[in-house]
């Protein structure tokens, strides 16, 4: 960057101004995606101008970045949005730390801790050191040249200002709308807004300073380098083969005993619950968290032992790999048990956000365990971090594709229809009734699915009224809101929800709203009351 320092500072200052323009007093929407895209484009522009070209493996991150950045304004469900923001920033960090060598695929877990820390420290000190180096490299005649370039600009502005003022006053007299816009522009220069302008200027400079550090760090690190994945292990192997075999063998024996005892549940299901006297809730929930926690702890125990165990002969390597594969295979069986418990709970009580997250994550944990087996067999254990990263990406990608809140609506309405067709479900009415209050808590992603169900005349009358009550609650809350959204805070999910509600607004007029604003009650056309406020616990 030493050859063109002005280009760096101009670019990061423009990005700082873009941050202010997109976010100051604005809600979150499309502005996050636009700003992050501008940051990536600006960084690539500066690096390519210096002749620094990225590797193909680095460019693989661009589609992931684009996907997650777009999700931030296409989906409104909280976990989906949170993960989209996190993985957008993660892909940007990986782009910065492995721009030229593309080594992010070979990163170990330590790299994901050390490299972001180094990037953060570069954001603090690199702009200062770069500014000092640039000042030292200036030639003696650079200052006069700068002055000579600035004087004509200053004279031109002084001449132009009175001329522009005259023409502006004439045009304002000729057009009332232009006069109003001109008045709004002049309003910007009122002295009482000076503290706001100072704060915004500080924000712009702060963002520009940090972005300059990111660009400078990327340029400095943009060269082929060894990662900790290619170096010697952080902790040399010190544990004997016999000790590790005893540990693994003991854990495998315990897991095998547990799986043997629990194996009847894989085929018994409802019958076993009745025999043992468990309720659905007790059977499904009891032990689920423990099983998933056990799977994670056992997996990381295996990885820890693998990194510190001495395997000096081929026979020892084969025995250890066999034990590792057996352990992971038992973890897969235990994962199936956890999945079945969750499935039984969902079959009776329907879906919630937490159950949906868990449902999805179990699939990706299973795939991670299968990948672990493959890596162990082919002796590619060093790529476990990459497998873990891809599993994490997969989970974060699955949620927006699934559309969590819309999925919950569709599944629970289908669940309500199914239960209504069963003469005696064996469950109290309070359990099998559709939880319309929970629908109200969902995000804008759920509204189009609710409207589709409301329009579907094949839905039973009582379920139809419950869905209508949910929509009436949502519409009431939206009508109370006085929030004004600018284009920077445009959100596709909110836009789609507004369109869906408008399409049924006349039908929802049949639902009366009464009660306090903090606890409204919806009265449906038959006179039945529905509370909008929910105390639902997942």
Let me know whether 384 and 411 are in one domain.
Answer: no
In DSSP terms, 516 is beta-bridged to 519
Question: Is 155 part of any domain?
Answer: no
Residue pLDDT, tens place only, 115-170: 999 999 999 999 998 888 877 776 544 555 444 555 677 767 677 777 777 777 77
Q: What is the side-by-side strand order in the sheet with 519-523? A: 512-516, 519-523, 529-531
Nearest 10 degrees: CA dihedral of 449, 453, 454, 457?
A: 160
Largest separation between any pair of C-alpha atoms in the chain = 95
Helix (H/G/I), strand (E/B), else coil: 239:
strand
Question: Is 202 part of any domain?
Answer: yes
Cα separation, 211 vs 16, in Å, equals: 8
Let me know whether 266 and 300 are in one domain.
Answer: yes
Residue pLDDT, tens place only, 326-369: 988 888 888 887 787 777 777 777 888 988 998 898 899 889 98
Question: Is 180 part of any domain?
Answer: no
Residue pLDDT, tens place only, 406-440: 999 999 998 877 766 665 444 443 444 567 678 88
Nearest 10 degrees: CA dihedral of 80, 86, 88, 94?
A: -140
Cα separation, 368 vs 497, in Å, equals: 36
**What is the DSSP code (8-state) at residue 103?**
G
**Across all residues in the chain, what is the average pLDDT?**
82
Cα separation, 227 vs 95, in Å, equals: 15
Q: Which tokens is 199 given? A: 């704060």
Q: In sequence order, what are the residues at sequence separation of 6 or more whose Cβ sits closer than 8 angstroms to the Cβ of residue 295?
A: 331, 334, 335, 338, 365, 369
Predicted confidence (pLDDT) at residue 292 exceeds the cutoff of 50:
yes
Let me know whether 80 and 52 are in one domain.
Answer: yes
Residue range 45-70: mean pLDDT, rounded: 93
Cα 31 → chain centroid: 15
Let me know whether 331 and 432 are in one domain.
Answer: no
In DSSP terms, 514 is beta-bridged to 521
End-to-end Cα distance, the chain: 53
Instruction: Catalogue the long-range contacts made by 505-509 (C-beta closer than 8 Å, 24 or more residues apart).
Output: 505/475, 507/454, 507/468, 508/468, 508/471, 508/472, 508/475
Predicted confidence (pLDDT) at residue 41 exceeds the cutoff of 90:
yes
Residues 108 and 435 sit within 8 Å (Cβ to Cβ):
no
Q: How confident is the model at residue 265 (pLDDT cuts 50, 70, 90)?
A: low
Residue 239 phi/psi, 5-degree rounding, is -85, 135
Of 73-77, 165-169, 386-390, 453-457, the range with the lowest mean pLDDT is 165-169
Whole-prediction pTM value? 0.83
Q: How confident is the model at residue 482 (pLDDT cuts 50, 70, 90)?
A: low
pLDDT of amino acid 243: 86
Let me know whether 285 and 366 are in one domain.
Answer: yes
Residues 75 and 87 sit within 8 Å (Cβ to Cβ):
no
Question: Is 510 part of any domain?
Answer: yes
Let me know whether 367 and 421 are in one domain.
Answer: no
Q: How confident is the model at residue 27 (pLDDT cuts 50, 70, 90)?
A: confident
Residue 488 phi/psi, 5-degree rounding, is -65, -30
Q: In sequence order, what are the residues at sequence separation of 6 or more whose Cβ sits closer than 8 angstroms to the Cβ of residue 71?
A: 80, 81, 84, 400
Cα 483 → chain centroid: 24
**What is the DSSP code (8-state) at residue 191?**
G
Let me know whether 267 and 363 are in one domain.
Answer: yes
- Spell out where 265-420 has E strands: none
What DSSP string describes 498-537? HHHHHHTHHHHTTSEEEEETTEEEEE-TTS-EEES-----
pLDDT of amino acid 140: 44
Q: Which tokens is 231 given? A: 């170096």
Question: Is 153 part of any domain?
Answer: no
Q: Of 341, 370, 402, which residue is a domain's last? A: 402
Percent of the chain with pLDDT over 90: 33
Helix (H/G/I), strand (E/B), else coil: 309:
strand
Residues 85 and 32 sit within 8 Å (Cβ to Cβ):
yes
Of 39-48, 92-101, 253-262, the range with the lowest mean pLDDT is 253-262
Nearest alpha carbon to residue 33 among 11, 55, 18, 17:
18
Question: How many structural domains compose the chain?
Answer: 3
Cα separation, 357 vs 78, in Å, equals: 12
Let me know whether 392 and 448 are in one domain.
Answer: no
Residues 32 and 73 sit within 8 Å (Cβ to Cβ):
yes
Identify which of 27-36, 175-184, 220-229, 282-291 has the greatest average pLDDT: 27-36
Q: How confident is the model at residue 453 (pLDDT cuts 50, 70, 90)?
A: very high
pLDDT of amino acid 535: 46
What DSSP string describes 135-155? HHH--TTHHHHHHHHHHHHHH
Q: Of 361, 385, 402, which residue is a domain's last? A: 402
Identify which of 249-263, 438-452, 517-531 has the greatest average pLDDT: 438-452
Q: In sequence order, what are the residues at sequence separation of 6 or more whose Cβ sits closer than 8 angstroms to the Cβ of residue 40?
A: 62, 65, 92, 95
Predicted confidence (pLDDT) at residue 505 exceeds the cutoff of 80:
yes
For 25-54, letters b (16+ CB in 10 Å) and e give eeeebbbbbbbbebbbebbbebbeebebeb
Let me know whether 515 and 424 are in one domain.
Answer: yes
Task: Return the percent helix, strand and coil in the chain, to nearest 5.
Answer: 75, 5, 20
Cα separation, 54 vs 61, in Å, equals: 11
Of 180-194, 205-219, 235-249, the range with the lowest mean pLDDT is 180-194
Let me know whether 373 and 250 are in one domain.
Answer: yes
Cα separation, 122 vs 210, in Å, equals: 9
Let me know whether 90 and 200 are in one domain.
Answer: yes
Predicted confidence (pLDDT) at residue 266 exceeds the cutoff of 60:
no
Let me know whether 398 and 433 are in one domain.
Answer: no
- Residue 457 sits in which domain range? 406-531
């Amino acid at each position: 960057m030493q050859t063109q320092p002005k280009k760096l500072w101009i670019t990061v200052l423009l990005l700082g101004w873009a941050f202010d323009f997109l976010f100051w007093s604005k809600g979150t929407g499309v502005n996050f995606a636009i700003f992050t895209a501008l940051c990536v484009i600006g960084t690539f522009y500066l690096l390519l101008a210096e002749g620094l070209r990225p590797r193909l493996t680095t460019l693989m991150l661009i589609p992931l970045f684009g996907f997650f950045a777009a999700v931030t304004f296409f989906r409104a469900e909280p976990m989906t949005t949170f993960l989209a923001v996190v993985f957008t920033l993660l892909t940007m960090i990986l782009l910065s730390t492995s721009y030229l060598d593309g080594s992010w695929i070979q990163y170990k877990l330590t790299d994901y801790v050390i490299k972001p820390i180094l990037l953060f420290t570069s954001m603090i000190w690199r702009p200062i050191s770069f500014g000092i180096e640039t000042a030292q490299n200036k030639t003696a005649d650079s200052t006069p040249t700068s002055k000579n370039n600035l004087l004509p600009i200053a004279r031109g502005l002084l001449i132009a200002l009175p001329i522009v003022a005259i023409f502006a006053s004439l045009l304002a007299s000729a057009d009332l709308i232009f006069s109003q816009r001109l008045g709004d522009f002049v309003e910007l220069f009122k002295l009482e807004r000076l503290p706001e302008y100072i704060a915004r200027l500080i924000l712009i400079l702060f963002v520009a300073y940090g972005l300059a550090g990111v660009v400078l760090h990327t340029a400095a690190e943009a060269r082929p380098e060894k990662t900790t994945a290619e170096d010697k292990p952080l902790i040399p192997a010190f544990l004997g083969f016999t000790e590790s075999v005893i540990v693994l063998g003991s854990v495998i024996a315990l897991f095998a005993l547990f799986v043997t005892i629990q194996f009847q549940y894989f085929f018994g299901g409802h019958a076993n619950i009745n025999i043992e006297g468990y309720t659905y809730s007790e059977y499904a929930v009891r032990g689920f968290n423990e099983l998933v926690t056990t799977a994670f702890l056992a997996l990381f125990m295996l990885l820890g032992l693998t990194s510190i165990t001495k395997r000096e002969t081929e026979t020892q390597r084969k025995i250890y790999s066999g034990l590792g594969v057996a352990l992971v295979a038992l973890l897969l069986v235990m994962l199936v048990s956890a999945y079945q418990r969750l499935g039984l709970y969902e079959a009776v009580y329907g879906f919630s956000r937490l159950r949906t997250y868990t449902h999805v994550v179990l699939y990706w944990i299973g795939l991670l365990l299968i990948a672990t087996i493959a890596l162990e067999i082919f002796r590619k254990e060093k790529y476990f971090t990459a497998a873990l990263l891809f599993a994490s990406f997969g989970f974060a990608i699955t949620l927006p594709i699934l559309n969590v809140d819309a999925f919950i609506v569709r599944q629970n309405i289908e669940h309500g229809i199914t239960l209504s067709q069963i003469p005696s479900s064996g469950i109290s009415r309070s359990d099998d009734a559709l939880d319309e209050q929970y629908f109200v808590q969902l995000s804008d992603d759920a509204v189009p699915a609710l409207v589709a169900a409301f329009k579907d005349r094949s839905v039973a009358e009582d379920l139809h009224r419950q869905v209508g009550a949910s929509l009436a609650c949502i519409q009431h809350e939206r009508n109370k809101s006085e929030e004004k959204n600018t284009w920077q805070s445009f959100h596709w999910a909110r836009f789609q929800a507004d369109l869906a509600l408008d399409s049924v607004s006349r039908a929802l007029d049949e639902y009366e709203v009464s009660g306090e604003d903090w606890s409204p009650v919806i009265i449906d056309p038959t006179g039945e009351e529905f509370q909008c406020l929910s105390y639902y616990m997942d």
